[in-house]
Chains A and B, each alone.
Chain A
Amino acid sequence: GDSVTQTEGLVTLTEGLPVMLNCTYQSTYSPFLFWYVQHLNEAPKLLLKSFTDNKRPEHQGFHATLHKSSSSFHLQKSSAQLSDSALYYCALSDRGNYKYVFGAGTRLKVIA
Protein backbone atom coordinates (compact mmCIF):
# COMPACT_ATOMS: atom_id res chain seq x y z
CA GLY A 1 0.00 0.00 0.00
CA ASP A 2 0.88 3.66 -0.13
CA SER A 3 3.06 5.11 2.59
CA VAL A 4 4.87 8.32 3.48
CA THR A 5 7.96 8.45 5.67
CA GLN A 6 9.21 11.50 7.53
CA THR A 7 12.32 10.45 9.36
CA GLU A 8 12.73 13.39 11.72
CA GLY A 9 10.26 13.90 14.53
CA LEU A 10 11.83 17.16 15.69
CA VAL A 11 14.19 19.52 13.92
CA THR A 12 15.68 22.42 15.87
CA LEU A 13 17.41 25.18 13.92
CA THR A 14 18.90 28.56 14.57
CA GLU A 15 17.25 31.44 12.74
CA GLY A 16 18.89 32.12 9.39
CA LEU A 17 20.10 28.58 8.78
CA PRO A 18 18.73 26.51 5.88
CA VAL A 19 15.78 24.19 6.38
CA MET A 20 15.45 20.70 4.95
CA LEU A 21 12.69 18.35 6.04
CA ASN A 22 12.78 14.88 4.56
CA CYS A 23 9.91 13.07 2.89
CA THR A 24 10.01 9.78 1.00
CA TYR A 25 7.07 7.80 -0.26
CA GLN A 26 5.84 4.53 -1.70
CA SER A 27 2.97 4.51 -4.13
CA THR A 28 1.40 2.17 -6.66
CA TYR A 29 0.71 4.93 -9.17
CA SER A 30 2.19 8.34 -9.87
CA PRO A 31 0.97 10.31 -6.90
CA PHE A 32 0.59 13.96 -6.07
CA LEU A 33 2.71 15.01 -3.11
CA PHE A 34 1.79 17.72 -0.63
CA TRP A 35 3.30 19.57 2.28
CA TYR A 36 0.90 20.82 4.96
CA VAL A 37 1.88 23.14 7.80
CA GLN A 38 0.15 23.42 11.17
CA HIS A 39 0.97 26.25 13.52
CA LEU A 40 0.12 25.93 17.19
CA ASN A 41 -3.64 25.88 17.83
CA GLU A 42 -4.40 26.34 14.14
CA ALA A 43 -5.77 24.13 11.38
CA PRO A 44 -3.32 22.40 9.06
CA LYS A 45 -3.11 24.21 5.74
CA LEU A 46 -1.54 23.51 2.39
CA LEU A 47 1.99 24.79 1.95
CA LEU A 48 3.03 23.14 -1.32
CA LYS A 49 1.73 20.69 -3.90
CA SER A 50 3.72 18.86 -6.56
CA PHE A 51 3.15 19.60 -10.21
CA THR A 52 2.75 17.05 -12.97
CA ASP A 53 5.23 18.77 -15.26
CA ASN A 54 8.32 18.71 -13.03
CA LYS A 55 8.01 22.37 -12.09
CA ARG A 56 9.20 23.18 -8.61
CA PRO A 57 6.44 24.54 -6.38
CA GLU A 58 7.33 27.46 -4.12
CA HIS A 59 5.44 29.28 -1.39
CA GLN A 60 6.51 31.62 1.42
CA GLY A 61 10.16 30.88 0.64
CA PHE A 62 9.67 27.13 0.85
CA HIS A 63 10.18 24.84 -2.11
CA ALA A 64 10.16 21.11 -2.77
CA THR A 65 11.24 19.01 -5.72
CA LEU A 66 9.55 15.77 -6.62
CA HIS A 67 12.19 13.17 -7.46
CA LYS A 68 10.45 10.13 -8.85
CA SER A 69 13.70 8.18 -9.13
CA SER A 70 14.25 8.38 -5.38
CA SER A 71 10.57 8.74 -4.41
CA SER A 72 11.27 11.88 -2.46
CA PHE A 73 9.69 15.30 -1.95
CA HIS A 74 11.94 17.06 0.57
CA LEU A 75 10.92 20.50 1.83
CA GLN A 76 13.57 23.21 1.74
CA LYS A 77 14.02 26.85 2.62
CA SER A 78 17.23 28.85 2.36
CA SER A 79 16.87 30.75 5.63
CA ALA A 80 14.71 29.76 8.60
CA GLN A 81 12.57 32.34 10.38
CA LEU A 82 11.14 32.18 13.87
CA SER A 83 7.65 32.16 12.36
CA ASP A 84 8.45 28.92 10.54
CA SER A 85 8.18 27.03 13.82
CA ALA A 86 5.32 24.59 13.24
CA LEU A 87 4.37 20.99 12.55
CA TYR A 88 4.93 19.93 8.94
CA TYR A 89 3.20 16.98 7.30
CA CYS A 90 4.12 15.37 4.01
CA ALA A 91 1.20 13.63 2.27
CA LEU A 92 0.33 11.89 -0.97
CA SER A 93 -2.76 11.10 -2.96
CA ASP A 94 -2.96 8.99 -6.07
CA ARG A 95 -5.24 7.91 -8.85
CA GLY A 96 -7.98 5.56 -7.80
CA ASN A 97 -7.57 6.27 -4.12
CA TYR A 98 -9.76 8.77 -2.35
CA LYS A 99 -7.60 8.66 0.71
CA TYR A 100 -4.68 10.90 1.41
CA VAL A 101 -1.78 9.23 3.21
CA PHE A 102 0.12 11.34 5.70
CA GLY A 103 3.56 10.99 7.19
CA ALA A 104 4.11 11.09 10.94
CA GLY A 105 4.95 14.78 10.84
CA THR A 106 8.09 16.79 11.61
CA ARG A 107 8.05 19.50 14.21
CA LEU A 108 10.32 22.40 13.22
CA LYS A 109 11.53 24.61 16.03
CA VAL A 110 13.43 27.74 15.03
CA ILE A 111 15.37 29.49 17.78
CA ALA A 112 16.99 32.90 17.91
Chain B
Amino acid sequence: GGIITQTPKFLIGQEGQKLTLKCQQNFNHDTMYWYRQDSGKGLRLIYYSITENDLQKGDLSEGYDASREKKSSFSLTVTSAQKNEMAVFLCASSPDWGGYTGQLYFGEGSKLTVL
Protein backbone atom coordinates (compact mmCIF):
# COMPACT_ATOMS: atom_id res chain seq x y z
CA GLY B 1 0.00 0.00 0.00
CA GLY B 2 0.92 3.61 -0.41
CA ILE B 3 0.89 6.65 1.78
CA ILE B 4 0.33 10.37 1.54
CA THR B 5 2.62 12.50 3.66
CA GLN B 6 1.82 16.09 4.45
CA THR B 7 4.35 18.50 5.93
CA PRO B 8 4.29 20.27 8.22
CA LYS B 9 1.58 18.78 10.38
CA PHE B 10 1.18 22.07 12.24
CA LEU B 11 1.99 25.50 10.85
CA ILE B 12 1.83 28.76 12.74
CA GLY B 13 2.16 31.97 10.79
CA GLN B 14 1.81 35.70 11.04
CA GLU B 15 -0.74 37.85 9.28
CA GLY B 16 0.32 38.63 5.72
CA GLN B 17 2.91 35.89 5.63
CA LYS B 18 3.31 33.51 2.68
CA LEU B 19 3.04 29.92 3.90
CA THR B 20 3.66 26.69 2.02
CA LEU B 21 2.30 23.21 2.64
CA LYS B 22 3.79 20.15 1.00
CA CYS B 23 2.33 16.82 0.02
CA GLN B 24 4.07 13.64 -1.17
CA GLN B 25 2.41 10.43 -2.38
CA ASN B 26 3.98 7.11 -3.29
CA PHE B 27 0.89 5.56 -4.89
CA ASN B 28 2.07 6.70 -8.34
CA HIS B 29 -1.32 8.37 -8.79
CA ASP B 30 -1.86 10.89 -11.56
CA THR B 31 -4.40 13.15 -9.90
CA MET B 32 -3.76 15.11 -6.73
CA TYR B 33 -5.96 17.50 -4.77
CA TRP B 34 -5.84 20.11 -2.04
CA TYR B 35 -8.94 20.52 0.13
CA ARG B 36 -9.70 22.88 2.96
CA GLN B 37 -11.62 21.38 5.87
CA ASP B 38 -13.79 23.68 7.99
CA SER B 39 -16.29 22.49 10.56
CA GLY B 40 -19.80 22.50 9.14
CA LYS B 41 -18.63 23.32 5.63
CA GLY B 42 -17.30 20.00 4.48
CA LEU B 43 -14.27 19.66 2.26
CA ARG B 44 -13.85 22.43 -0.27
CA LEU B 45 -11.55 22.04 -3.24
CA ILE B 46 -8.76 24.58 -3.55
CA TYR B 47 -6.62 23.21 -6.39
CA TYR B 48 -6.20 19.95 -8.23
CA SER B 49 -3.73 18.57 -10.75
CA ILE B 50 -4.34 15.77 -13.21
CA THR B 51 -0.70 15.30 -14.12
CA GLU B 52 2.77 16.71 -13.51
CA ASN B 53 2.91 20.47 -14.21
CA ASP B 54 -0.87 20.68 -14.57
CA LEU B 55 -2.87 22.96 -12.28
CA GLN B 56 -6.63 23.43 -12.10
CA LYS B 57 -8.46 25.87 -9.83
CA GLY B 58 -11.13 24.61 -7.50
CA ASP B 59 -13.97 26.52 -5.91
CA LEU B 60 -11.78 28.11 -3.22
CA SER B 61 -8.60 29.01 -5.11
CA GLU B 62 -8.52 32.74 -4.35
CA GLY B 63 -5.71 33.48 -1.92
CA TYR B 64 -3.83 30.28 -2.80
CA ASP B 65 -1.23 29.13 -5.31
CA ALA B 66 -0.23 25.57 -6.09
CA SER B 67 2.66 23.76 -7.71
CA ARG B 68 3.03 20.23 -9.11
CA GLU B 69 6.77 19.90 -9.64
CA LYS B 70 6.68 16.17 -10.15
CA LYS B 71 4.14 13.39 -10.19
CA SER B 72 4.64 12.48 -6.55
CA SER B 73 4.45 15.96 -5.02
CA PHE B 74 1.92 18.76 -4.83
CA SER B 75 2.47 21.99 -2.89
CA LEU B 76 -0.01 24.60 -1.73
CA THR B 77 0.90 28.18 -0.83
CA VAL B 78 -1.24 30.54 1.19
CA THR B 79 -0.25 33.80 -0.48
CA SER B 80 -1.15 36.10 2.41
CA ALA B 81 -2.26 34.56 5.68
CA GLN B 82 -5.35 36.12 7.25
CA LYS B 83 -5.27 37.10 10.92
CA ASN B 84 -7.02 34.63 13.27
CA GLU B 85 -7.40 32.13 10.46
CA MET B 86 -7.52 28.50 11.50
CA ALA B 87 -8.01 25.70 9.06
CA VAL B 88 -7.03 22.15 8.22
CA PHE B 89 -5.71 21.46 4.73
CA LEU B 90 -6.04 17.96 3.32
CA CYS B 91 -4.06 16.59 0.42
CA ALA B 92 -5.49 13.69 -1.57
CA SER B 93 -4.71 11.62 -4.62
CA SER B 94 -6.70 9.40 -6.94
CA PRO B 95 -5.67 6.58 -9.27
CA ASP B 96 -8.27 7.25 -11.91
CA TRP B 97 -8.24 9.78 -14.68
CA GLY B 98 -10.03 12.65 -13.01
CA GLY B 99 -11.08 10.48 -10.12
CA TYR B 100 -14.44 9.72 -11.67
CA THR B 101 -14.82 6.17 -10.49
CA GLY B 102 -12.02 5.76 -8.03
CA GLN B 103 -11.67 6.71 -4.44
CA LEU B 104 -9.62 9.48 -2.96
CA TYR B 105 -6.70 8.69 -0.67
CA PHE B 106 -6.08 11.37 1.92
CA GLY B 107 -3.19 12.57 4.01
CA GLU B 108 -3.67 13.28 7.70
CA GLY B 109 -3.84 17.02 7.20
CA SER B 110 -1.90 20.17 7.99
CA LYS B 111 -3.35 22.48 10.60
CA LEU B 112 -2.77 26.17 10.01
CA THR B 113 -3.02 28.81 12.72
CA VAL B 114 -2.47 32.48 11.96
CA LEU B 115 -1.67 34.78 14.88
Contact = CB atoms under 8 A, between A and B. Distances in A.
Contacts, number: 60
A103 B50 contact: no
Interface in A49-101: 49, 89, 91, 93-95, 97-100
B49 to A, nearest CB: 10
B73 to A, nearest CB: 17
Interface string B88-104: 00100000001111011
B40 A98 contact: no
A42 B9 CA distance: 12
Interface stretch (B14-22, B64-72, B74-82, B105-113): B105-113
The contact size tier of chain A is 20 to 34
Main secondary structure of the interface of A (DSSP, over half): loop
Contacts of B35: 102
B42 A99 contact: no
Interface centre among A34, A43, A45, A94, by most chain B C-beta atoms within 10 angstroms, is: A43
Contacts of A44: 43, 90, 104, 106
A93 B99 contact: yes
B7 to A, nearest CB: 14
B104 to A, nearest CB: 6
B83 to A, nearest CB: 25
A105 B42 contact: yes
Interface of B: 4, 31, 33, 35, 40-45, 48, 50, 56, 58, 90, 98-101, 103-109
| The 8 nearest A-B residue pairs measured at CB | A98-B98, A43-B106, A102-B43, A46-B103, A102-B42, A104-B42, A43-B108, A44-B106
